[in-house]
Chain A
Amino acid sequence: MVADRVYTETAQRARAALAGVQPAPGVAKPDPILLADKVKKNFGGVTAVDVDHVEVQRGSITALIGPNGAGKTTLFNLLTGFDTPDTGEWRFDGRSLAKVVAHKTASMGMVRTFQLTKSLTKMSVIENMKLGATQQVGERWWNGLFPFRWKAQEKLIEQRADQLLQRFKLDHMRNEYAGTLSGGQRKLLEMSRALMTNPRLVMLDEPMAGVNPALKQSLNEHIRGLRDDGMTVLFVEHDMDMVHDVSDWVIVMAEGRIIAEGTPEAIAANPAVIEAYLGAHQGKSLLGEETPS
């Protein structure tokens, strides 16, 4: 049994906005920041993703769950431009992303992390962070040779990076190589580096994978913190405790399709979800309650 949640003001607001939404697959939300329509992707003969319609509510924390091979990461790749769907349309904040390449989505305010953490091991933690800032003057080669053109901006970026490192409790590792960080710290670094882009939507691919239980709690706090700062969070996760703990809305995928949606409580009791995970004949428990002894 998961401990009762303490709802912050933003959490209450997010849940209130979603309170009137029917828990049905592909349901429309009052204020979607991201929506996908008829997005389909085949790999050879296998249909990896076949999403009829899905919306992500602005200012909420939405979990994307599903058994292995359900197409969660593929959907992430499609939405962020790392892969292109065969058909369909998808929009971020009202703008179509159909022709937008991966690196452009970040400057539009949509940033993602990866299932296998991609920390740049041979660069220091602070360099990792500074890389995340967008619109850097010194990133054009002809400016690179003239430090006076980018030094001022670099200073501001460094200040922001230091603040984020402090918030994510990585400031003591500031000048170490990112390769010396532990698995959990790398997850934190990747998340804080993503925040350097000033995103409105943060997409986290399995933020809890390989993280020890003590750090999980603080990661949860950090994810809630993103919503408190006005960001929308969409994350893929297998850890049901965490899903129950932090999400305002849960989307369930299986075999490439969206099979259920709803609040965490509604999903925990949804027979379609239990069937997808365990098969119909199995026990009822999925999200903590009534564990068979």
Chain B
Amino acid sequence: MDWLKILENTVSSLVGIDAAYFALAALGLNIQFGYTGLLNFGQAAFMACGAYGIGMTAQYFDVSMWYGIPIALAFVVILSLLVGIPTLRLRADYLAIVTIATAEIVRLFVRSVRFKRFFGGSDGINSFSTQFRDLSPFDPSKQYGVRPFQYSGYTFWTLIVAWCLVGVFGVVVFYLMRSPWGRVLKAIREDEDAVRSLGKNVYSYKMQALVMGGVIGMFSGMVFALDRGSVQPDNYSRDVTFYVLTALVLGGVAKVSGSIVGPMIFWGLYVFSDNTLRELTRDGGISVFGVGLLQKSQVGPVNYMLIGIGLMLLMTFRPQGIFGNRKEMALDGR
């Protein structure tokens, strides 16, 4: 067992690109789900808007990648309106069903053969991050940082951009939620009829929350796509939404710190258990008295099982998440 390597990988994954783009997605989802109570199960679709927005701009339109931001924003707004107009008048559960379906529709749409011309089918769009890489002030052939936080120039650049975005949006969400605007959102989560009776246009506020959460999710998708230099439709399947949701709940909903630290811990745990299992099965597998318990090829699925068990335990013993407020949880007596 190489514990040092496991530990190093775990620690560096805490600030890795996965944690960063999850944190962005979770910040967005937190506005919708944590503060406003909108059960958006389609955050992956908003992330895809960002990824395809920037990918298509770079690949087909032959313009600066900066145009990708307004194009992706347009995608997000159109998607929000399409989803929101028919469903935001309904109660929360309906939105959940519609958003999960929408995310799947978006994924199947962009991976369809018919629209391969625009979205590249199941191969997606590839190698479009040259322009982004050219912006990097770091030498791609050199290593930056100290162990265990050591990265190639390009990864280092992506990480800095990603965590800066997390920081900016973290501050934005924090201040917005302390404003009267945030107060209205929280009140809608509690009881929208009460808010309506006090003269607030609940529908409009829900739409604002949906769009704003979607826009932050869009930046998450962009970061992910730029890091890989490619978008594949299957990177934006349901799993992503649910992992992000899991990471958010792990950190604690309706807390900015929760939506940033939650994803870090989620990926830390994931990498730790994945690395440990791989180390354990390095010599073929584990067997007790000749009975095979774990094969090398089974590490992936078993890892997810372990994570699942860990989360169940967390929800049982600390339902408010890491930063959540227990007192607030206990008030759920409506």
- Interface segment among A22-30, A125-133, A215-223, A236-244: the answer is A125-133
Contacts A179-B331, A180-B331; is A141 near B196 (CB within 8 Å)? no
A152 within 8 A of B: no
Q: Are B180 and A194 in contact (CB under 8 A)?
A: no
B193: A residues at CB distance < 8 A: 82, 114, 118
Q: Are A118 and B179 in contact (CB under 8 A)?
A: no
Residue in chain B with minimal CB distance to A107:
B199
Q: In the complex, which residues 241-290 of chain A have their Cβ closer than 8 Å to any Cβ of chain B?
A: none
What's the least CB distance linking B300 to chain A, in Å? 39
A128: B residues at CB distance < 8 A: 187
How far, in angstroms, from A140 to B193 measured CA to CA in the complex?
Answer: 20
Q: Are A112 and B176 in contact (CB under 8 A)?
A: no
B182 within 8 A of A: yes
B76 within 8 A of A: no
Residue in chain B with minimal CB distance to A141:
B181
Q: Which of A103, A127, A137 has a CB less than 8 Å from the CB of B199?
A: A103
How far, in angstroms, from A138 to B197 measured CA to CA in the complex?
Answer: 19
A121 within 8 A of B: yes
Q: In the complex, which residues 109-159 of chain A have their Cβ closer than 8 Å to any Cβ of chain B?
A: 111-114, 118-123, 127-128, 130-132, 134, 136-141, 143-145, 147, 150, 154
A residues adjacent to B (C-beta < 8 A): 80, 82, 102-107, 111-114, 118-123, 127-128, 130-132, 134, 136-141, 143-145, 147, 150, 154, 177, 179-180, 190, 193-194, 196-197
B residues adjacent to A (C-beta < 8 A): 172, 175-176, 179-184, 186-187, 189-191, 193-202, 208, 212, 327-328, 331-334
B191: A residues at CB distance < 8 A: 118, 120
How far, in angstroms, from A146 to B128 measured CA to CA in the complex?
Answer: 37
Q: Are B197 and A143 in contact (CB under 8 A)?
A: no
Q: Are B181 and A123 in contact (CB under 8 A)?
A: no
Q: Are A138 and B327 in contact (CB under 8 A)?
A: no
Q: Are B199 and A134 in contact (CB under 8 A)?
A: yes
How far, in angstroms, from A147 to B182 measured CA to CA in the complex?
Answer: 12
Contacts A177-B327, A177-B331, A179-B333; is A138 near B179 (CB within 8 Å)? yes
| A–B complex contacts, Cβ < 8 Å, 27 sampled | A103-B196, A106-B199, A111-B198, A112-B197, A114-B193, A114-B194, A114-B197, A118-B194, A119-B194, A120-B186, A120-B190, A121-B331, A122-B190, A130-B180, A131-B198, A134-B198, A134-B199, A136-B180, A137-B180, A140-B181, A141-B212, A144-B176, A144-B181, A144-B182, A147-B179, A154-B180, A179-B331
What's the least CB distance linking A16 to chain B, in Å? 32
Q: Are A197 and B198 in contact (CB under 8 A)?
A: yes
B187: A residues at CB distance < 8 A: 120, 123, 128, 131
What's the least CB distance linking A238 to chain B, in Å? 21
Q: Are A145 and B199 in contact (CB under 8 A)?
A: no
Q: Which of A107, A112, A121, A138 has a CB less than 8 Å from the CB of B181?
A: A138
What's the least CB distance linking B49 to chain A, in Å? 20
Q: Are A197 and B181 in contact (CB under 8 A)?
A: no
Q: Are B199 and A197 in contact (CB under 8 A)?
A: yes
Contacts A143-B179, A144-B179; is A121 near B198 (CB within 8 Å)? no
Q: Are A131 and B196 in contact (CB under 8 A)?
A: no
Q: Are A104 and B190 in contact (CB under 8 A)?
A: no
What's the least CB distance linking B205 to chain A, in Å? 8
Q: Are A144 and B197 in contact (CB under 8 A)?
A: no
What's the least CB distance linking A102 to chain B, in Å? 5
Q: Which of B179, B183, B333 has a CB less than 8 Å from the CB of A131?
A: B183
Q: Are B194 and A104 in contact (CB under 8 A)?
A: no
What's the least CB distance linking A169 to chain B, in Å? 21
A sample of 9 more A-B contacts (CB under 8 A), given A141-B212, A147-B175, is A82-B193, A106-B199, A112-B197, A141-B176, A143-B179, A144-B179, A145-B172, A194-B197, A197-B199
